[in-house]
Structure 1
Amino acid sequence: MTHGKTLILVVVALVSGFGAGFVLRPMIVPMHPVAATPGDALSTQYPVAPRSKQYFAAHLDKARQVLAACKDGAVGGDECANAERAVIEADGHDRFKRFMGN
């Protein structure tokens, strides 16, 4: 008989715990995101990932612009490295084609 009482007690505790969780969740974690103020910068909320080497390989003119900005110090990080790799590979490919006579 004590086994049945224990089982009923566990089920009641679980049901009341889940019920309390559903009732208290809106108070613990708001359901709607907090509205951003006009002074908040979008880039601080959602950081922009650096463009990939494949992107710069397809857009060499932009890669060269980014490299110039990197030398000036306006741009930094992985975007500079990706642009530099794309430009180096494209220049190497062009040199190889000229060497082979194509």
Structure 2
Amino acid sequence: MHEYGLAVGVVTAVTQQLPGRRITAVCVHVGARSGVEPFALKNCWPLATENTPVEGAELIIEQIPATVFCPDCGEEKTIDEFFDYSCPDCGDIIVEITKGQEFSIAYCDVD
């Protein structure tokens, strides 16, 4: 379960950026195609934060849908897990996913 390692990484990053502060909430962006399972991340959060300034902080997960930009249609399209690298509307080949692969810290709340 790599989500535990990700949670520990979030705790490390937050405590390094906010030394000596008590963190009450951490929000992360999790892309639909990031490979991160939000349920697993949420469940390992208490263990990853134990005995840290982040212990007891709420983990807020904002899920980011996966999207692509179709140059033929000239617009961004939401895709699902069955995306085959073609536009869901016109069928043009698309090789770049524009959103949905991210895993990042969005913000923290502190005391």
Length-normalised TM-score, structure 1: 0.26
Write 1 or 2 for the structure with the bigger share of strand: 2
Larger RCO (CA within 8 A; separation ≥ 6) = 2
Write 1 or 2 for the structure with the bigger share of helix: 1
Structure 1 or 2, whichever has the larger Rg, is 1
